[in-house]
Amino acid sequence: MPASLPDRPAGQSRPAPATPPAPAVFLGVRHHSPACARLVAHTIRTLRPAFVLVEGPADMNDRLDELLLAHTLPIAVFSHYRDAERVATSWAPLCDYSPEWIALREGHAAGAEVRFVDLPAWHPAVAGHTERYANRYADAEARYAEATRRLCEHFAVDTVDALWDGLFEVLGPDADPEELRTRLDTYFGLVRGDAEADAADRAREEYMASWVHAALARAGDRPVLVVTGGFHQPALRTLSARYAQAAAPADWPAVPAPPDGALGGSFLVPYSFRQLDAFAGYQSGMPSPGYYQRLWETDPQGAGQGLLRAVTERLRARGIPLSTAGLIAARSLSQGLARLRGHPYETRVDVLDGLAGALIADDLDRPLPWTTGGTLGAGNHPVVVEMVAACTGDAVGRLHPGTPLPPLVHDVAARLAGLGLADTDAPVTLDLTEEEDRSRSRALHRLRVLGVPGFTRVSGPADGTDPVFTEVWEPRPAAGGREAALIEAGAYGARLDEAAAARLGERMSAAGPEAGAPADLLFDAVQCGAGALCADLLTAFAARVGQVGDLGRLGEMLSATLSLWRHDRVYGVARDQLLGGVVRSAVDRVIWLAEGLHGGPGVDLAALRALEAARDALRYAPGLLSVTPRTAAEAAARISRDPRAPAGLRGAAFGLRWALGVPDDPGPVVQALAATAADALGDWLTGLFAVAREEVAHDTGAEEHSLIDVVDGVVSALPEPDFLVGLPALRQAFAFFPPRERERIAERLLERRRLRGSARSLLRTPADPLLLARARALEENVTRLLDRHGLGPSPADRAAPAPHPEPTR
């Protein structure tokens, strides 16, 4: 297969490394590629360069010694930047098999001078491309997908990763370095080919080329090795050739300094394979670090067997049956695939394909993740999940104790001291209405979110609607692992607020789409101070809300969010745009779900509350919503007419129209309901009163058309058995009215019958209170007895609350 790679123009092929006078050797690599790492090591050993220039943040050059300490990999160079407009964080992850890491270590060991030559991470050319959380060692070529797409088509593979494995990684440690290098040159020449790099990439390449020029001037006749992402390599070569005519610079290129008023820097933080594998989309780089670690330590065969073993162990530990015959089938399938694909050994995808083909005896809901190149989403087969996890590996890095602490540790210490929380051993009581206590609360919540031990919250508001304004935190002095936890959390950000926001973001993506929109996450964000930092989080949250499937839960979240948006004075999120976005998509979703809800008898109060919350949003925050009152009313009309919708929901939809100012005539609806089932009327009224109680209470419709009159007419005409069947539901419905409104209804009924008398007395039961108490005690006894024998109603049925439980008749 490699033989069919088109040849490069002869002029661009590299002479043998030892041949002077071509002192700059450009080695284009793929980040996190064991094959490239081996080639870098080999080249350094044979070339003995004076300088090794590595793609990495140039502002780290003064502190390369820190990198050379005896760390346990993976670690990352974490860079952060903040000015008035922009916040950017990025990581340059390094693991045992990173070509950059090898260049650094081996170059240093060989006595060469090692330099990072790329722009600092905060520079707009580096940070400009990417999202807020960026991976410096992502594949640049992924942004110019056309060439790689053509290559994938040519070699008939699904993804770039599979293509790369088949062309390079599969060669193993015994590959001829010269052949590997020619092949890399050809590959990256094709990938860069006709791609017009954007301004940011060109700026970086210019800068790197200026370092090459300076190094060449110093190296005399000794060679200079340049290790960069392969995508940049062809351009660097061209740029350097152009520089060759220029005069030799006296000094190294200047490292750009952050503008005045901006904060920025780079630090080492511990990293993990899980984090390395979690970058998505353009950021992802090479997946499956656990597999490539084994490939680095052994060879393709060893890595394949290791993967097979890891998957087997994981599946058996999870109790998923896996027979020897199944493993044999998987092996023969992988070997067959490797031969069909022209691989001398099995690659990662061969092994995974073999396992998937032989072990999964079900239909899948999602395509195999390694055939699409995406990250693992929801709905994957458990065997696939275990396979991907086995590829990820569980290595966690540790910094050498001599490494300067990440900035977060200092930031937290300074912040806690500033807030007077540094050396407390008494419980801290915070009044959330005081600004000062509120910032203390925010800091403590951020630490909590980051999982840093030290303080535990004993009491405080449980959610956005909880009218509690005091929080109590208990310190746990001498809590072990506090500093370790902080160092670990240092990978999330340089400042406490940034780190907490990044952690919350990670929690959301880890929860997976099937978890819907976890309301506690939203409240955590609010408690941590949902500022600009949580923007991504809240935007993603709003998108998630659009996928929630349960109307009741969605309603709860909507009403909590809406009340925060409307009334919050504590957390400062009232009228917050991002919360508004959550409200918007929640209302969209409520209407969408309500229109699809079908079901039998009984009232789902949670669903009714969801419509109630949507009513409030439509009434008090119409500017926020994409649903206009008119479209909402149209949808409500459809629900209200839908015979398969539960009666309660139909009533609520009827009420929603009423509350939106487009009431319908209740007469025919009530008549029809009473004719179908007596208890449906009560359910319908429950829904109606839940959403439009006020409108009903103040209904001054003409005689015979007002709802109360219509209901009175229908109920009076009910035969006794039907009335008794319908009574409990009717009682539940009227329980939505407070006593005063109930009295007005009673007055109206008296009026209707042209009777005189005290309406209030109608609301009181004439029965002896003692008799009622005895009846209640008897009922409780019966319930207990039924419960004891497992015959009682389910807890869900019992939970139906009655706001005003006195009898109405």
Partner 1 sequence: MTVTAGFGEAGEAGEAMFQRPPAEVRHADELAALRADDDDPRPPGWKLSLRAARRFIVGDEQAGISRKFVGNVSLVERALVTLATNRGLMLVGEPGTAKSLLSELIAAAVSGSSALTVQGGAATTEDQIKYSWNYALLVSEGPSARSLVPAPMLRGMAEGRIVRFEEITRCPLEVQDCLLSLLSDRVITVPELHGPQGLVFARQGFNVIATANTRDRGVNEMSAALKRRFNFETVFPIADFETELDLVEAESATLLRQSGVEPPPRRDVLEVLVGTFRELRGTAAQGERMSTVMSTAEAVSVAHAVGVRAWFLRGEPGAAADVVACLAGTAAKDSPEDLARLRRFLEQEARRRPGPQWQALHEARHLLAD
Q: Which residues bind partner 1 (CB under 8 A)?
A: 156-158, 162, 323, 325-326, 329, 332-333, 336-337, 339-341, 349, 353, 356-358, 360-364, 367-368, 371-372, 546-547, 549, 588, 591-592, 595-596, 598, 626, 631, 634-635, 638, 642, 644
Looking at beta carbons only, is 361 or 796 nearer to partner 1? 361
- Strand order in 87-94's β-sheet? 133-135, 87-94, 75-82, 263-270
Looking at beta carbons only, is 626 or 794 nearer to partner 1? 626
Looking at beta carbons only, is 161 or 201 nearer to partner 1? 161
Provide the pairing of β-strand 224-229 with 51-57.
Answer: parallel
Looking at beta carbons only, is 266 or 640 nearer to partner 1? 640
Q: Please give the sequence-ordered ranges of beta strands (E in DSSP) within 358-517, or none if there are none.
A: 428-431, 455-459, 470-475
Looking at beta carbons only, is 445 or 584 nearer to partner 1? 584
Looking at beta carbons only, is 335 or 671 nearer to partner 1? 335
Taking the complex as a whole, the smallest distance from the CB of residue 188 to partner 1 amounts, in Å, to: 23
DSSP 284-341: --S--HHHHHHHHHS-HHHHHHHHHHHHHHHHHHTT----HHHHHHHHHHHHHHHHHT
Taking the complex as a whole, the smallest distance from the CB of residue 646 to partner 1 amounts, in Å, to: 14
Taking the complex as a whole, the smallest distance from the CB of residue 159 to partner 1 amounts, in Å, to: 9
SS3 659: helix
CA 560 vs CA 522, 546, 582, 735: distances in Å = 10, 16, 11, 24
Taking the complex as a whole, the smallest distance from the CB of residue 546 to partner 1 amounts, in Å, to: 6
Looking at beta carbons only, is 630 or 784 nearer to partner 1? 630
Taking the complex as a whole, the smallest distance from the CB of residue 632 to partner 1 amounts, in Å, to: 10
Taking the complex as a whole, the smallest distance from the CB of residue 575 to partner 1 amounts, in Å, to: 24
- Note the helical H segments in 193-320: 199-219, 233-243, 273-277, 289-297, 300-317
Neighbours of 294 (CB within 10 A): 24
Taking the complex as a whole, the smallest distance from the CB of residue 625 to partner 1 amounts, in Å, to: 12
Q: Which two tokens stand for residue 280?
A: 């998505």
Taking the complex as a whole, the smallest distance from the CB of residue 460 to partner 1 amounts, in Å, to: 35
Residue position matching structure tokens 């060879």: 299
Looking at beta carbons only, is 594 or 710 nearer to partner 1? 594
* Closest C-alpha among 734, 743, 536 to residue 651: 734
Taking the complex as a whole, the smallest distance from the CB of residue 516 to partner 1 amounts, in Å, to: 11
What's the CA gap between 29 and 99, in Å, rounded?
7
* Closest C-alpha among 747, 600, 591, 786 to residue 677: 600
Looking at beta carbons only, is 316 or 804 nearer to partner 1? 316
What's the CA gap between 500 and 490, in Å, rounded?
10
* Closest C-alpha among 262, 255, 270 to residue 87: 262
What's the CA gap between 524 and 781, in Å, rounded?
43
Residue position matching structure tokens 């051993």: 425
- Strand order in 113-118's β-sheet? 24-29, 224-229, 51-57, 113-118
Phi first, then psi: give them for residue 478, nearest 5 degrees.
55, 30
Taking the complex as a whole, the smallest distance from the CB of residue 345 to partner 1 amounts, in Å, to: 16
Neighbours of 459 (CB within 10 A): 13
Looking at beta carbons only, is 337 or 501 nearer to partner 1? 337
What's the CA gap between 551 and 609, in Å, rounded?
9
Taking the complex as a whole, the smallest distance from the CB of residue 336 to partner 1 amounts, in Å, to: 4
Looking at beta carbons only, is 595 or 664 nearer to partner 1? 595
User: What is the DSSP-derived secondary structure letter of residue 261?
Assistant: T
Looking at beta carbons only, is 341 or 445 nearer to partner 1? 341
Write the CB contacts of 337 (distance below 8 Å, at least 6 apart in sequence). Answer: 346, 350, 353, 354
Amino acid of residue 256: P
Helix/strand/coil percent split, the chain, to 5: 55, 10, 35
Looking at beta carbons only, is 276 or 356 nearer to partner 1? 356
Looking at beta carbons only, is 592 or 620 nearer to partner 1? 592
Taking the complex as a whole, the smallest distance from the CB of residue 730 to partner 1 amounts, in Å, to: 29
Looking at beta carbons only, is 342 or 757 nearer to partner 1? 342
User: What is the DSSP-derived secondary structure letter of residue 59?
Assistant: G
Taking the complex as a whole, the smallest distance from the CB of residue 450 to partner 1 amounts, in Å, to: 31
What's the CA gap between 610 and 558, in Å, rounded?
7
Taking the complex as a whole, the smallest distance from the CB of residue 325 to partner 1 amounts, in Å, to: 7
Q: Please give the sequence-ordered ranges of beta strands (E in DSSP) within 306-446, or none if there are none.
A: 428-431
Q: Which two tokens stand for residue 319?
A: 């109790």
Taking the complex as a whole, the smallest distance from the CB of residue 383 to partner 1 amounts, in Å, to: 11
Q: Which two tokens stand for residue 9?
A: 């123009």
